[in-house]
Structure 1
Amino acid sequence: MIHQLTDREIVKQLYFTQFVILIASAVIGFFFFEDLHDFFKLWNIRDEYIIWYGVTLAVFVIFADMAVMKWCPRHLYDDGGINELLFRNRPVPHLLFLTLLIAFTEEILFRGVLQTHIGLWAASLVFAVLHFRYLTKWLLFIMVTGISLMLGLIYEWTGNLFVPVTAHFIIDAVFACQIRFQYVRRGLHDGNVKS
């Protein structure tokens, strides 16, 4: 169905999804948190663990994903072209904004609201199931579930939402830019895409 949408409609759907995630976070958080102060205590921008855990996890995931793409058959990790449709036509600043938005909204819901109140395993399971497009692709599902657990673990260890947000953002930004650059390179080679 997504292949029938225009590029503009795809971007609108992505923004709408992130808006829904933020609304869900606010509604669920309203019942789980005593007040906003409890939520804001989960954030510490001056924490050195942002670099040690967040960046390190991102680099590990990026290399693991590159290894999967190198050694596994494409059909095992192919998401049906959805990520390519989302990211191939975006300028890099827009890609960075989108991936930062995705990282913040998903980590607020899954780590900040759900994991804080229902635990690591339950939040990771919800995260994996909501990435339902991977349910029929066992390798992608295992990878998404594993990444969710790792993001949850670094949040458990640090108690700081900026740590998983940083890791999530770097992972998504690198892969989004990789999709964009591959698309531009193919188009330049074929002579039919604007950079």
Structure 2
Amino acid sequence: MQKQSEIIKQLTDKELVKQLVISQMLLLLLAIILSLFFFGDFSDWAHYFRLDGPGIIYYGVLPGLIIVILDILFVIIFPEKYYDDGGINDKIFRKRPLIQIAGIALITAISEELLFRGVLQTTFGYVVASIFFAVVHIRYLKKPLLLISVLFVSFYIGYIFLLTENLYTTITAHFVVDFLLGAVIRFKK
């Protein structure tokens, strides 16, 4: 069986992004199907979408920035081998224009937050949703520092949802994290 890093090397940037988009669309489809199954329709989701500017900034943008700053500090403190994800993030973001990084981050934030917070957390609770979120990021499971990092982010964003019950805040936090870390990879020398 091939290692993940070997498979990644065989894929072109375009193929890798295509696989990423397909996986995110599958998560979005799963969120829609599960919401119909658990809630009957989308009206139960309506109260989880509130345009609350100050709340979105305070609970979305600021926590996203805190997560990014902590991640950058960990990259500075710990040896690179602890942050090696098999080259996936580097291959996805290294040569990508910022607008495409934003698009990838937005697709990921929407699909994952609708599934993990909008469906799983509202149905099964905070802990279950946070653990499932970490498990979906399977490439981190064999890297203790990356696993701790994704667990922290998952529980932190899940906690934000507990406080706000607003998917716009968690989508914003998730987007800020993915976009800024993608931009860091893009411009890293």
Query: CA offset at residue 89 of structure 1?
Result: 1.8
Which stretch has the larger CA shift, 105-114 or 39-48? 39-48
Structure 1 equivalent of residue 48 of structure 2: 42
Structure 2 equivalent of residue 98 of structure 1: 104
Query: CA offset at residue 3 of structure 1?
Result: 1.5
Q: Give the TM-score, by structure 2 length.
A: 0.93
Query: CA offset at residue 152 of structure 1?
Result: 0.3
Using the alignment, how far apart are the partners of 2:49 and 2:58 within structure 1?
Answer: 16
Structure 2 equivalent of residue 70 of structure 1: 76
Residues 1-195 of structure 1 mapped to structure 2, 5 A cutoff: 1-182=7-188, 186=189
Using the alignment, how far apart are the partners of 2:71 and 2:38 within structure 1?
Answer: 35
- Please list every run of at least 4 consecutive aligned residues from structure 1 whose deviation after the TM superposition is greater than 4 angstroms: none
Per-residue Cα deviation, 1:103-155 (whole angstroms, up to 9, x for no partner): 11100000011001100000011011111100100110011011000000000
Using the alignment, how far apart are the partners of 1:73 and 1:178 within structure 2?
Answer: 17
Rg larger for: 1
Q: Give the TM-score, by structure 1 length.
A: 0.90
Which stretch has the larger CA shift, 140-149 or 78-87? 78-87
Using the alignment, how far apart are the partners of 2:64 and 2:131 within structure 1?
Answer: 20
SS at match of 2:48: coil
Per-residue Cα deviation, 1:134-182 (whole angstroms, up to 9, x for no partner): 0100110011011000000000000100111111101110011111112
SS at match of 2:85: coil
Query: CA offset at residue 47 of structure 1?
Result: 4.7
Asked if structure 1 preserves the Cα contact closer than 8 Å seen for 2:8 and 2:88, the reply is yes
SS at match of 1:113: helix
Using the alignment, how far apart are the partners of 1:36 and 1:53 within structure 2?
Answer: 24
The one-letter amino acid paired with 1:144 is V
- Two-structure CA RMSD over aligned residues (Å): 1.1
Using the alignment, how far apart are the partners of 1:77 and 1:6 within structure 2?
Answer: 22
Query: CA offset at residue 2 of structure 1?
Result: 1.7
Per-residue Cα deviation, 1:80-113 (whole angstroms, up to 9, x for no partner): 2110111112111111111011111100000011
Query: CA offset at residue 46 of structure 1?
Result: 2.7
Query: CA offset at residue 37 of structure 1?
Result: 1.1
Aligned residues: 183
